[in-house]
Structures are given as C-alpha cells and as structure tokens.
Structure 1
Amino acid sequence: MTQLTIAKAITSGLRQAMEKDPKVVLMGEDIGKLGGVFRVTEGLQKDFGEDRVMDTPLAEAGIVGTAIGMALRGYRPVVEIQFDGFVYPAFDHIVSQVAKMRARSLGTITLPMVIRIPVGGGIGAVEHHSESNEAYFAHTAGLRVVAVSNAQDAYWGIQQAIETDDPVIFYEPKRRYWDKGDIDESGPSHGLYDAAVVREGSLCTLAAYGPMVKTCMQAAQAAAEEGTELEVIDLRSLSPLDLDTVVASVEKTGRLVVVHEASTFLGLGAEIAAAVTQRAFYHLEAPVLRVGGYNLPYPPSRLEEEFLPDLDRVLDAVDRSLKF
C-alpha cells in the first residue's frame, strides 16, 4: 500500500501509462514546466521530454483538434482542460468528432484519447472555474464519462481510461485533489465503469460521484451517530451508468437520495431517479430525491458555500425520505 493525494495518484498513474506505452502523450496549457495549475503533471516533462508532455497555446479547440489527429495516427493523447469551464471552445470537436468517429466509420476507426477535466467548486475561484458540466457529455453517445473520488480510483482509473479504445472524459474533483488515500498497487478495486458500495447501510441509499462522495460519507457518519444507517454508493462512471449496483442497494434500503454539485434540473440525478423508479418501483418506500446545485450560473466565491450541497442538505433530504 502507498498513500498519495488524489493529484499525485493521477501523476503516478500517468507516469505508469507513459512508461508502459510510448504512444501515450500529454497535451495542455502549462502542463510541462509548470506541471499544470494543480501540479498534476509535475515532473513528467522533465522525465519524458517535450515531445511527449507538450505545453500548448491557450486554445482548447486547437488542443482537442490536434489530439484527434494524433489519435487517428495511432497515438493515445491525454488532454488536460485546465478548468471545467474552459472546455466549451472545444465542445464542437468533442460532440461532433470525438464522440462520433467510431460510429461514423462503422467501427473501423477508434479515437483512444482521454480528456482530463478538473471539475466542481469549493476552491474560491472566479467565473468559469467551478462548473459541473458532466451532463452535457454523459448525454452524448460515443463518449465514456468517468468521475473519480479517491486516490485508488484516480491512480488506476487514469490508466484504465488511457488503455480504452473509446474516448473518455475523465473528471477529477479539484477541491479533493489534496485528500490522501491508500493505493493498492496490485490492481484496481473495480472495473472502470462499475459503481462501488463504499459504506454499507440499511435505511436509505445515498448515490454520488466525484467531490460529493466525501460529503455523503460525512453525512452517513453523522447519521450513524444518531442511529440511522445510510448506504453510500460511489457511481464512479456516469456513462455508462452501473444501475445494477444502485438498484440492488435500493431493493435493500427502499430509499434513494442522489447527490451531485450540478443543477438538479436535467442533471444526472434525474436520469438515475427515472431509471431506478422504473426498475425498482415496488421496492421504493419513498420517491427518489435529489440534492444538487441550484438552476443558476455558478455564483461568486463568497456565495459558493450557499450554492454547493453540504452535509445538512443531504441529511435534510434523508429526513424527508424517511418520513414518507
């Protein structure tokens, strides 16, 4: 076992992938000499050279467009989008080319590329630095979308994503970058697209991903101190969704609260609520509830703690579910 922060776990995972396959290349703004604004790629350009760890211009469309060409020529590019809100200039490339190439070619062409996106709020940043835009990409057929929440999944998940022949959107919870965790170097705990039950419980299921998994674990601990045992599921993959794990939990607990930072309006929680209601209707003791951000642009940093779901909002939803 090795203990690393989530940020350094990704660094180590990238290093392992680059040592294993010389076709793995990294691209992004300030990822070389600086090591990225969160220092996730720190030291990699020094060890692998400027031909494999490339500082790019401030042009997301150009970065992703270049990565598409490199993937078509047999490379496995890993693109860093510096902040979640910076991905939009590359949106057309991602949804029109990256996601569609395999289907357009009837499976003869693949685009094995990873787009790393630090996601979410909680760091006191300015506009366009704290967005949760996962629903756009999870809604786009042809993209795999993964959201890690801990060091173990970060270390192995980035390696699994790089080895995937389909394009992967890889979300990293920026306010959790400095959280430490154990890494089992013998192998990953789960498949890349499998959800994980990270806390057993009996009265209500909390389903979350990325930065909200820690919040739900804290809520479950607080509830346990009052005698309420909550089960917590880390969804891990947003597309595809491992609904079997969620449904199995709901069949046991009879209740489900879905938690994410993004707005609840047309968010991932809405899809999960609909799917679970269809598949586990006769097991539900209460409606599926959602806790998320408000349907507003992300607020200035002084107000973000009022915007982001916290322990109290999660527990309030649990209380409402238990009253049905």
Structure 2
Amino acid sequence: MQATIIEAINDALHEEMATDDRTLVFGQDVAESGGVFRATEGLQETFGGDRVLDTPLSEIAIVGAAIGLATYGYRPVAEIQFSGFLPPAFDQLVTNASRIRWRTRGELTAPMTVRTPYGAGVRALEHHSESLEAVYSHIPGLKVAVPSTPHDAKGMLISAIRDPDPVLFMEPKHVYRSFREEVPDGTYTEPLGEAAVRREGEDVTVIAWGAMMHKTREAVDNLDGIDVELIDLRSISPLDRETVVRSVKKTGRCVVVHEAPKSGGFAGELIATINDEALMFLEAPVERVTGFDVPVPLLAMEDFYIPQPPRIEEAITETVNY
C-alpha cells in the first residue's frame, strides 16, 4: 500500500495489537479522538476500551504506568503528545525503565515503547517543537529510534514493541503527511540500531535522521559534481558506529545535519566517534549543520531555525573543497 508516516504508524499499531493481545495503547486523547495527529485513530473501535485508553494529563504517570505494565508481562505503547512534554517523565525513564533489567539482575524487564512526535516545522506553540534526542541517547538501557520514512516507521515501530527493553520512538511530525511510499501489508520489522545507506558515494559522507533526511536529500539532489554518500542514522541509541566509520574511511569527509541545537547535539558524538576510529582517513574537518542554541522560535521564524537545503549545500561544498 502507499502510505504516509502517520498511516504507517497507525498500521503498525493495528498489526501488533491484532497479533499480541498483551499490546496496550494509552496516552492523552489517544482513544476517543485518535490522538492529536490521528496516529491511533480506529484503535479503540477495533480493540476496545480495555486496551486503548485515554489518560490524565500527567506524563510521569503515563510512563510510570507503562513501566508497571511492562514488568507484569504486557507490551505497553505509551504516547506522549509532543516530545517537549517528555521531560516531566525523564525521571521514570532514567531511574526505572532504563535500569530495571540491571537493578534486578534480569529478573524484571521493561518491554515498553514510548511514542512521541518531535521536531519543528508545523508552526506549533512553545514546548511543541523540541528535538531532544541527544538527551535521551545518554541513558544506558534506553533505545532511541528515529525513522524518516513510512516503510521504516512501520517496521521499526513493530521492532520497538517487540523489543525486550524500553524504546523511545521519536516520530518526525514535520513529515508525518508530506509524502507517501510503498509500505508492505502485514507484519515486518526493521532493525533498531542499524543505519541505512540511502545513497552510495565517494566524495563525502552526509549523515542525517528524521525530518532532516528530507532537507538533506533535497540539498544533495541540488548539487552538481559532488558524489555524496547519504546515511540515514535511524537509531540514535544504539548507534551504528560501524556504518558511519566505514563510510568516512571511504570518503574522507563528513557533514552531519540535525535540527537540535549545536551545543551538546548528537553531531558531537558522531564527530567524536569519527575522530576515535577514522581520524587518519579525514581530509577535512567534520562539518555540522544544526539548529541554533536558542529555544525553537515561534511561527514563521521556524524556517530560519531549521537547517534548510542552502545551508546544507554550502557545508557539503566547503567540506569537499577544503
């Protein structure tokens, strides 16, 4: 079928709930209204109010309930309406979900998924547009997945729900409905922790994820005479270091694109990895194209904050011509 990212996510939830009656879905407004973006539309009608539930407006309670259910054998899928609302539940992710396996020496696990839309570009209000993936990548025991296509959104979400440990599933809402692609019917999985090489190239490695994959692909398509190897990271944690390092050793140059602020952004971890494992192969410094060290601005100013193709093209050209 041809599907958008939001339709692929909805399809994945339908598939897993039909396959495994331990799978539960809950969060703010996910049941009766189908969620603010309609990602859970039709689930309550199909699977009933015992498995698809609206919750109070309390992120710490939503994630805490997921932890409790997961340790009792369920496969909860909790939705946090926007990733900017996730910090109140940070304590639950850090203190309980991510370390329950370690704390109990494997006696208990937390096979749970926390879905949340992230990123700017939809003219939302404050705390609705953050890109905080780097923060959560620092938590041992918590996987962080960021799909960029409908095919990956469905396959990776099914993998997340089936994973024996907690997964934070960050969905790029800026491209929720911006394009369609072929998505297989039925159940299939895409691996967590494995990057995808979207385009083979020899001159420079360009790395992005989520919504920035599409800005980056547009920039790459605009370039003449530069052979780009384009990598979709797909998972922030675990990080597919092997694919990144192998590519940089081949091209000798690298540009990283993300919409989060530059300081402390995940590009820094990628650059450190490249310096550790491929420094002697570099022919130019690794370039970063990122958001700015400010809160995401409101309304039309978002366009100046988000890395746009001209900025990405300039960084690629400068790196190749260094």
Same structural fold, with TM-score higher than 0.5 when normalized by the shorter chain: yes
User: What amino acid sits opposite 2:220 in the alignment?
Assistant: A
**TM-score normalized by structure 1?**
0.97
Match of 1:66 in 2: 65
Query: Does 2:155 match 1:156?
Result: yes
Structure 1 position 184, deviation (Å): 3.2
Match of 2:140 in 1: 141
Alignment of 1:89-238 (within 5 A): 89-178=88-177, 179-185=179-185, 190-223=190-223, 226-238=224-236
1:260–1:309 contact (8 Å) kept in structure 2: yes
SS in 2 for 1:99: helix
Structure 1 position 143, deviation (Å): 0.2
1:153–1:188 contact (8 Å) kept in structure 2: no
2:24–2:77 contact (8 Å) kept in structure 1: yes
Q: Structure 1 residues 321, 188: closer, same or farther in 2, change over 3 A? A: farther
How far apart in 1 are the matches of 2:271 and 2:186? 36
How far apart in 2 are the matches of 1:73 and 1:108? 11
2:192–2:238 contact (8 Å) kept in structure 1: no
Structure 1 unaligned blocks of 5 or more = none
Aligned residues between the structures? 321
1:98-154 deviations in Å (ceiling 9; x for gaps): 111111111221000000010100000110000001111100111000000000101
User: What amino acid sits opposite 2:273 in the alignment?
Assistant: A
SS in 2 for 1:35: coil
How far apart in 2 are the matches of 1:308 and 1:23? 39
1:273-318 deviations in Å (ceiling 9; x for gaps): 0101211112111111111111111111221111111101111111
User: What amino acid sits opposite 1:227 in the alignment?
Assistant: G
Structure 1 position 252, deviation (Å): 1.5
Match of 1:309 in 2: 307
- Structure 1 window deviating more from structure 2 (175-184 vs 253-262): it is 175-184
User: What amino acid sits opposite 1:249 in the alignment?
Assistant: S
Match of 1:243 in 2: 241
Structure 1 position 189, deviation (Å): 7.5
How far apart in 2 are the matches of 1:189 and 1:24? 16
SS in 1 for 2:105: coil
Q: Structure 1 residues 88, 217: closer, same or farther in 2, change over 3 A? A: same
Match of 1:75 in 2: 74
1:277–1:288 contact (8 Å) kept in structure 2: no
How far apart in 2 are the matches of 1:228 and 1:180? 28
How far apart in 2 are the matches of 1:186 and 1:56? 29
Query: Does 2:13 match 1:14?
Result: yes
Structure 1 position 157, deviation (Å): 0.7
2:155–2:188 contact (8 Å) kept in structure 1: yes
Structure 1 position 236, deviation (Å): 0.4
* Identical positions, percent: 45
How far apart in 2 are the matches of 1:75 and 1:186? 22
Structure 1 position 218, deviation (Å): 0.8
Query: Does 2:309 match 1:291?
Result: no
1:192-244 deviations in Å (ceiling 9; x for gaps): 22100001222111101111111111111111xx2212111000010010011
Structure 2 unaligned blocks of 5 or more = none
Structure 1 position 190, deviation (Å): 4.5
1:144-195 deviations in Å (ceiling 9; x for gaps): 0000000010111110000001100001000111021111347758522210
1:263–1:294 contact (8 Å) kept in structure 2: yes
Alignment of 1:1-80 (within 5 A): 2-80=1-79
2:109–2:164 contact (8 Å) kept in structure 1: yes
User: What amino acid sits opposite 1:194 in the alignment?
Assistant: E
**TM-score normalized by structure 2?**
0.97
- Structure 1 window deviating more from structure 2 (142-151 vs 175-184): it is 175-184
2:204–2:253 contact (8 Å) kept in structure 1: yes
How far apart in 2 are the matches of 1:105 and 1:24? 23
Q: Which runs of 4+ in 1 moved over 4 A?
A: 185-190
